[in-house]
Amino acid sequence: MKKRNTVQAIDRAVAIIECFRGKKELKLSEISERLDLNKSTVHGILTTLKHHGFISQDKNTQRYRLGIRFIEFGDIVMNSLNIRSAALPVIKEVCSKIEETVHIAMLDGSDVVWIEKQECNRSIKTSTTIGAKLPAYTTADGRIILCYQDLDKIDNYLPEEIPKYTPNTITDKCEFVKRLKEMKEQGFAIDNEEVVEGIKCVAAPIFDYNGDAKFSISTTGPAFRMTEEKICQLIPIIKEAAKEISYSIGYRGI
């Protein structure tokens, strides 16, 4: 096994910080027991972290907690996480693999807007202009984001009467909401020629560092290529790509 080239003191400092996951405050003895380190070692590291603002200590209880310095660095990290730059290498790889156009979208009010794309090289292909918008409920991209919203908010995204775009359009609101629940359970959405005849789409949610579905990744293609068999092959690929992008922008869920 390859030997890790790490510094023991820093490894221990990181381990101490990790102890505070799910814990607001900890005693010196609690940290020492968790890490199986003697109190003097733990105390020395805590004192150093405290000096730099990464740990604070309650004067009355002597309990330790994470310091406000993490807020400062948290803002820096969050501001540096750009969904487009994080997604682009992933969608390029997916596009090359599946040979269909791949999009990244986000919710903008009640609309879904496409913010990044990678077009395939096929002579017959589908594409969306970056910056283009459509009502979120009309697209797989939008629906997979909507289904993670609170139920009382979903109604605000739906018109009183859903227009019938194609023979496959679901116009009944109760049935539509039922489908959204199914999408959430499955973790993906399919547009089966419900808005434009001859076009099918598969989309999956991208979660941010708060665990909110803020974006989506999708692949769109002509119905004659997007057979049931191919869609079954695309679903795990798109879901895995969504997971990869989610983790690259700070998501730490399952």
Tens digits of per-residue pLDDT, 100-116? Answer: 999 999 988 888 989 89
At residue 124, the pLDDT reads: 73
At residue 222, the pLDDT reads: 92
Contact 40, 69 (CB under 8 A): no
- Looking at the fold, whether 108 and 218 belong to one and the same domain comes out as yes
DSSP E strands in 160-212: the ranges are 189-192, 199-207
Question: Of 77, 104, 136, which closes a domain?
Answer: 77
Q: Is residue 225 helix, strand or coil?
A: coil
CATH number at residue 45: 1.10.10.10
- Looking at the fold, whether 128 and 48 belong to one and the same domain comes out as no
At residue 1, the pLDDT reads: 41
At residue 32, the pLDDT reads: 95
Note down the domain range covering 34: 8-77
Residue 174 lies in a domain: yes
- Looking at the fold, whether 97 and 193 belong to one and the same domain comes out as yes
Does the structure show a pLDDT above 70 at 3? no
- Looking at the fold, whether 244 and 152 belong to one and the same domain comes out as yes
- Looking at the fold, whether 48 and 173 belong to one and the same domain comes out as no
The C-alpha atoms of residue 231 and residue 237 are separated, in whole angstroms, by 10
How would residue 64 be classed by pLDDT, with cut points 50, 70 and 90? very high
- Looking at the fold, whether 72 and 85 belong to one and the same domain comes out as no
- Looking at the fold, whether 19 and 139 belong to one and the same domain comes out as no
Does the structure show a pLDDT above 70 at 75? no
Residue 1 lies in a domain: no
pLDDT for 195-213, tens place per residue? 899 999 999 999 988 899 9
pLDDT for 12-57, tens place per residue? 999 999 999 878 899 999 999 999 999 999 999 999 999 999 999 9
Which one has a higher pLDDT value, 147 or 150?
147
Residue 254 lies in a domain: no
Question: Residues 221-233: what's their mean pLDDT?
Answer: 93
- Looking at the fold, whether 111 and 219 belong to one and the same domain comes out as yes
Residue 253 lies in a domain: no
At residue 50, the pLDDT reads: 94
DSSP-H helix ranges across 110-165? 140-146, 151-157
Residue 215 lies in a domain: yes
Residue 122 lies in a domain: yes
What residues have CB less than 8 Å from 10, skipping those under 6 apart?
A: none
- Looking at the fold, whether 130 and 244 belong to one and the same domain comes out as yes
Domain count, the chain: 2
Q: Poorest-confidence range of 26-35, 217-226, 245-254?
A: 245-254
CATH number at residue 134: 3.30.450.40
- Looking at the fold, whether 105 and 230 belong to one and the same domain comes out as yes
- Looking at the fold, whether 130 and 198 belong to one and the same domain comes out as yes
- Looking at the fold, whether 242 and 121 belong to one and the same domain comes out as yes
